[in-house]
Amino acid sequence: MQKWHILVAAVMLGLVLTLTACGEKPLLSKVSFSTDTITPNADHDTDVLVITYNLARSAEVSIYFEDDEGNRCYFRDHVHHGPSVEEPYQVHFAGVVNGYVLPDEDENEQFEGFTVEKRVLQDGAYTWMVEATDAEGVTEQVTGMLSIADADTALPELCGFSVHPPVFTPNRDSISDRATINVHLKKDVEELIVYLVGEDGVRYHVEEKETVTKLNEAGWHEFDYDAGVDHGADPPPDGTYTVTMRARDAVGQWTEARDTLTIKDGGVPRAYIFNGEVEWSAETVPLSGTLYFTLTVENDSVVPIRTSGPPPGTVYDSDQNYATLGEYEQSGAFRVGIHCETSPTDHPWRWAVGGPDDLVDDEGYLYLPAGKRAVVTGGIRFVDFVEARNPQYCYASLIHEDVEISMVNFRVDPVFLRIQVP
**Per the omega criterion (within 30 degrees of 0), is the bond before 391 cis?**
yes
Cα distances (Å, whole numbers) of residue 208 to 183, 211, 221, 222, 266: 11, 9, 7, 6, 21
- Rounded Cα gap, residues 346 and 411, in angstroms: 12
Pick the closest to residue 397 from 384, 410, 386 (CA basis).
Answer: 410
- Rounded Cα gap, residues 2 and 376, in angstroms: 109
Residue 394 pairs in a beta bridge with 340, 415
Segments in the chain below pLDDT 70: 1-24, 107-110
pLDDT for the residue 2: 38
Q: Could you tell me which residues come within 8 angstroms of residue 284 by beta carbon, excluding any fewer than 6 positions away?
A: 417, 418, 419, 420
383 half-sphere exposure, CB direction, 13 A CA radius? 6
- Exposure pattern of 387-417 as b/e (b: 16+ CB <10 Å)? eeeeebebbbbbbbbebebeeebbebbbbeb
3-state secondary structure 296-349: EEEECCCCCEEECCCCCCCEEECCCCCCCCCCCCCCCCEEEEEEECCCCCCCCE
**3-state secondary structure (DSSP) of residue 13:** helix
Query: Which domains does the chain carry?
Result: 27-148 (2.60.40.3880), 158-263 (2.60.40.1930), 271-420 (2.60.40.10)
Pick the closest to residue 199 from 237, 161, 245 (CA basis).
Answer: 237
pLDDT for the residue 9: 34
pLDDT for the residue 5: 37
Residue 69 CB burial class (10 angstroms; 0-12, 13-18, ≥19)? exposed
pTM exceeding the 0.95 threshold for the entire prediction:
no
Residue 196 pairs in a beta bridge with 204, 243
- Rounded Cα gap, residues 171 and 293, in angstroms: 29
pLDDT for the residue 109: 61
pLDDT for the residue 19: 39
Count of beta carbons in the 10 Å neighbourhood of residue 239: 13
- Rounded Cα gap, residues 322 and 181, in angstroms: 37
Residue 108 pairs in a beta bridge with none
pLDDT for the residue 104: 81
When computed from its CA atoms, the radius of gyration of the chain, rounded to whole angstroms, is: 36
